[in-house]
Amino acid sequence: MNFAHKVWRVLVAVKDGLVLALMLLFFGALYGALTARPAAVPKREGALLIRLDGQVVEETQKVEWQQLLSGGDDVAEVRERDVVRALRGAVSDSKVRAVVIDLSKFAGAGFVHAQDIGAAMDRLRAANKPVLVYGTMIGGNGVLIAAHASEVWIDPLGGAYVEGLGGEHLYYGKLLERLKVTAHIFRVGTYKDYVEPYFRNDMSEPSRAARKALYGAVWQQWRDDVAKARPKAQIDRVVADPVGWFKASGGDAAQASLAAGLVDHLGTPAEFGAHVAKLAGEDRTDKRPGAYAHMTLGQWLAANRPANNGKAIGVVTIAGEITDDKAGPGSAGGERIAKLIDAAEGRKLAALVIRVDSPGGSVTGSEAIRTAILRQKARGLPVIVSMANVAASGGYWVSTPGTRIFAEPGTITGSIGIFAVVPSFEKALAAWGVNGDGVRTTPLSGQPDVLTGLTPEIEAILQANIEAGYGRFVGLVAASRHKTPAQINQIAQGRVWDGGTARQIGLVDQFGGIDDALAYAAKAAKLDDGDWHAEYLGADTGPLGRWVQHMRQSEDGDSPNEPNGNDWAGMVAMHQRRQMAGMIGDVDRLMGAGGAQAYCLDCAALPGNGSHHGPVRGLSGLGWRVAAWLGVLGGQ
């Protein structure tokens, strides 16, 4: 019996060893596959197919293992600079006969990103290379991108629409009153309206006036861009009487879009593909209807690596909401970005460009990034700031060290102001017969207490601290812009400005994109053309992220050869999901925000300019991080 037991143990050990060995081999092979860079593929003559699936972003998010394995939030993203580089490169690429931009699964892009893509499309058209756009439901900045195409096709079951800017916001003042939740508001800035939904039932007049000016300026730029790129588009007719326009075509959205000049042709994916095949050539290996010879975005990028001649000019991207942690890439973790900037010292960079696409966030996170930039500036490194879609509030805070600030007319910036909001639940608990009592040795003992309420002393200290933080913010901007604090205070107060106005009032130095900022940085570093290249620091999303992005950009999936069902009902459902995600986000920010915040609510309200690239990932739970509020007391 003892002998049999020993044999059994040996067999179990052998089995466990084999299983372990197989697991090590599997994960070793998987790691090797993920870490290996995609090999360049031979160029294939035909069309360059660019699928704008998901959101066009400044920086793609880092993909976590548990996120991928759980099948959770997996929002497709396309990096804007990859799209622009491919479009520009296609101008001189003899193997690219045409460019196809598929908007079938397009989920949005910031205004500046859409403009940049449109400008790159114009270069192709000027080089007599056709640029064709196909989609099902095309709206918002998708219409702007499509306006720059040679031909715009939509599915007969789809349509194009123009919704404009703005919309309704939820205000929770009366709800919180009914729930007996007290929202303690601490803020400075007449226009700092981020906290208004938590104590008001409607929009304040200063907020309304500021938003009208901001939305009006950006909306006019949008209309001007579309009108210039596509003169036959009847935007005035569509926005003046959308119901009449729609009914004039018998309620057929596709026909209405065609009648208003928003699109050129109606056709199924197969019909569109057959048309492209006449321009770019047939795909002799794919016999599916609508197949045509093409190379995907990922394949083109793999075959056309960026040049790296000369010295490196570092580019640090600050994208998404600014936090105190190591979050990112794809979100702006202050600790991560500060370390990234400090590590630039060992790279022997010629200059540093800070690319900002953020509505702000944590004051302490913003300050950590700003001071890290100053350390590089103190070394004599030229520091230039390039603003993308939005660089407001904390996004402007981190921009103050820049020797020169570049922005686009459609960039959203400013929002110089800070706030903090702390919920307490003493009234709600009292309604259930729960009351607080105890002994304090000082007025601050046990404070801030979100269960039994905040004392007048802690409220006064928090407000004073926020006011001091605002004074510091104004002082930083004044020193950066060579103005007095009083002058900056007049244009601050939390007000948000479009890039054109921001340049007039001195918050921005010059119009231009990332290329202009890089060229200026090279000049500041005394480098000639061809003697430098851009090096994006910290943009690597890890092996898993690289693999996911490569698969998305390179796969020959069902689009555009198969319909995807994104009709008008699907568009309504998408907006519904976004509204629900926004409401969850409001609750999350009330319960989970930590410390003083320099955040722009107006910026997040504009299409494509959200505080995050993906959907809201859930509530913070009941851990409201009381310690975070104590962090406010430590100063800014």
Regarding whether 363 and 462 lie in a shared domain, the answer is yes
Two tokens at 204? 């304040």
Cα dist. 607→64, 74, 394, 437, 512 in Å?
26, 20, 19, 48, 21
Q: Are 196 and 171 in contact (CB under 8 A)?
A: yes
In a domain, 3, yes or no: no
- 543, pLDDT greater than 80: no
Percentage above 70 pLDDT, the chain? 78
Between 586 and 305, name the one with better pLDDT.
305
Cα dist. 253→165, 223, 237, 360 in Å?
21, 21, 15, 39
**DSSP H or E segment with residue 108:** strand 106-109
Half-sphere exposure of 94 (CA within 13 A, CB side): 0
Inter-helix orientation angle 111-126/80-92, to 10°: 10
In a domain, 626, yes or no: yes
Query: How high is the mean pLDDT of the chain?
Result: 85
Regarding whether 464 and 377 lie in a shared domain, the answer is yes
pLDDT digits 0-9 by tens, 324-336 = 999 999 899 999 9
Distance CA 128, CA 157 (A): 31
Regarding whether 183 and 141 lie in a shared domain, the answer is no
Regarding whether 359 and 296 lie in a shared domain, the answer is no
Which 3-state string (H, E, C) describes 134-196?
A: EEEEECCHHHHHHHCCCEEEEEEEEEECCCCCCCCCCCCHHHHHHCCCEEEEEEECCCCHHHH
With CA atoms as reference, report the closest residue to 273 among 251, 302, 245, 294. 294
Q: Are 608 and 109 in contact (CB under 8 A)?
A: yes
Regarding whether 345 and 283 lie in a shared domain, the answer is no
pLDDT digits 0-9 by tens, 400-453 = 999 999 999 999 999 999 988 889 999 999 999 999 999 999 988 998 898 999
Percentage above 90 pLDDT, the chain? 67
Q: What global pTM score does this model have?
A: 0.86
Q: Which of 284, 304, 324 is the last residue of a domain?
A: 304
Regarding whether 235 and 324 lie in a shared domain, the answer is no
- 11, pLDDT greater than 70: no
In a domain, 18, yes or no: no
Q: What does the pLDDT read at residue 596? A: 74
Q: What's the total number of domains in the chain?
A: 2
User: At 516, which amino acid appears?
Assistant: D
Distance CA 143, CA 150 (A): 13
Distance CA 552, CA 82 (A): 13
Regarding whether 499 and 635 lie in a shared domain, the answer is yes
In a domain, 36, yes or no: no
Annotated active-site residue in 62, 105, 129, 192: 192
DSSP 379: T
Annotated active-site residue in 207, 331, 362, 393: 393
SS3 51: strand
Weakest mean pLDDT among 236-240, 607-611, 617-621: 617-621
DSSP 201: S
Q: Are 585 and 366 in contact (CB under 8 A)?
A: no
Q: Which of 287, 304, 321 is the last residue of a domain?
A: 304
pLDDT digits 0-9 by tens, 54-108 = 999 999 987 665 445 545 445 689 999 999 999 999 999 999 999 999 999 999 9
Q: Which residues, listed in sequence order, are joined to residue 537 by a DSSP beta bridge?
A: 316
Regarding whether 402 and 330 lie in a shared domain, the answer is yes
- 158, pLDDT greater than 50: yes
Active site residue 339: no
Regarding whether 428 and 357 lie in a shared domain, the answer is yes
SS3 46: strand
Query: What is the pLDDT averaged over residues 517-522?
Result: 98
Cα dist. 576→310, 315, 346, 571, 580 in Å?
50, 37, 48, 9, 6
Query: What is the pLDDT averaged over residues 533-560?
Result: 61
Q: What is the spatial order of strands in the sheet that 77-79 belongs to?
A: 77-79, 54-57, 106-109
Half-sphere exposure of 374 (CA within 13 A, CB side): 12
In a domain, 10, yes or no: no
Q: Which residues, listed in sequence order, are joined to residue 124 by a DSSP beta bridge?
A: none
- Domain span including residue 625: 168-203+311-529+568-636
In a domain, 360, yes or no: yes
Q: Could you tell me how far CA 26 lies from the centroid of its own chain?
A: 35
Q: Which residues, listed in sequence order, are joined to residue 77 by a DSSP beta bridge?
A: 55
User: At 197, which amino acid appears?
Assistant: P
* Alpha-helical runs (H) found in 260-398: 269-280, 297-303, 334-343, 363-378, 394-397
Distance CA 445, CA 467 (A): 23
In a domain, 23, yes or no: no
- 340, pLDDT greater than 50: yes
Active site residue 393: yes
Q: Which of 304, 335, 359 is the last residue of a domain?
A: 304
Q: What does the pLDDT read at residue 23? A: 63
Distance CA 81, CA 93 (A): 18
pLDDT digits 0-9 by tens, 34-46 = 445 544 455 579 9
Q: What is the CATH number of the domain that holds 149?
A: 3.90.226.10
Regarding whether 158 and 181 lie in a shared domain, the answer is no
